[in-house]
């Protein structure tokens, strides 16, 4: 009895090639984002003590609000990861649940961050007062802008999965989003440690 041997594919899988190229391109984008944040962190480190008579970090920062922001944002990485696992199983219902939870956590984070900025400005500590405050608002605000873009991305992915299901395209976009969201959580850990935690010492 002879066994039939499946013929080898004479050409590469176009879906696999596209997926690989997309992920490679997205990793390159994340590396460029790393350079941007590294520049902002370096700028903050240089200008941290340039207060020009305005409030210092010890006078301005408390750990209460940033700690709550951390407790909100970090679990969103877990819900995002569960969403990706659901996508691997093509479970649309679980994708909606986990991505919606991720969206709610991210939105709560943005609301707290905007509230913090508004309080600082209301108390007279705007980005115009000193180089320290300018670098602070730029660094933390850039991260907040990325999170806001991530929220828009979640909404688009949910809509696409709802209409198209889990396809090669929607799965690829979810994979890129998951990397992006984990990257933002990692950046926030550095912000919390380098800006807030060290700032109150």
113 class by beta-carbon count within 10 Å (0-12 exposed, 13-18 middle, 19+ buried): buried
Residue 54: what pLDDT?
Answer: 85
Q: Residue 10 pLDDT more than 80? A: no
Mean per-residue pLDDT over the chain, rounded: 90
Q: pTM of this prediction?
A: 0.88
pLDDT at 13: 47
Residue 15 and residue 68: Cα distance in Å, rounded?
42
Q: How confident is the model at residue 11 (pLDDT cuts 50, 70, 90)?
A: very low
The Cα–Cα gap between 18 and 71 comes to 36
Q: Angle between the 64-88 and 92-122 helix axes, to the nearest 10 degrees?
A: 160
CATH topology of domain 92-201: 1.20.120
Is the pLDDT assigned to residue 9 strictly greater than 60? no
Q: Per-residue pLDDT averaged across 131-150, rounded?
A: 96
Reported as a pLDDT band with limits 50, 70 and 90, residue 201 is confident
Is the distance from CB of 196 to CB of 63 less than 8 angstroms? yes
* % of the chain residues with pLDDT over 70: 91
Hey, CA dihedral for 129, 132, 134, 136, is it positive or negative?
Answer: negative
Q: What is the mean pLDDT of residues 1-25?
A: 54
pLDDT at site 71 = 96
Span 109-126, average pLDDT: 95
Question: In the prediction, which pLDDT does 16 show?
Answer: 56
């Amino acid at each position: 009895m002879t066994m039939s041997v499946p013929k080898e594919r004479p050409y590469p899988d176009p879906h696999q090639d596209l997926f690989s190229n997309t992920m490679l391109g997205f990793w390159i984008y994340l590396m460029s984002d790393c350079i941007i944040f590294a520049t902002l962190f370096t700028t903050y480190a240089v200008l941290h003590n340039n207060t020009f008579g305005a409030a210092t970090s010890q006078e301005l920062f408390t750990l209460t609000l940033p700690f709550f922001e951390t407790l909100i944002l970090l679990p969103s990485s877990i819900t995002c990861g569960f969403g990706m696992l659901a996508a691997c199983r093509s479970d649309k219902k679980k994708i909606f649940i986990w991505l919606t939870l991720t969206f709610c956590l991210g939105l709560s984070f943005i609301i707290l961050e905007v509230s913090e900025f508004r309080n600082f400005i209301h108390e007279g500590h705007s980005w115009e007062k000193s180089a320290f405050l300018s670098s602070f608002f730029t660094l933390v605000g850039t991260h907040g802008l990325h999170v806001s873009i991530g929220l828009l991305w979640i909404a688009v992915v949910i809509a696409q999965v709802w209409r198209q299901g889990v396809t090669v395209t929607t799965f690829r976009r979810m994979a890129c989003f998951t990397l992006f969201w984990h990257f933002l959580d990692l950046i926030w850990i550095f912000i919390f440690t380098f800006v807030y935690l060290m700032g109150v010492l």
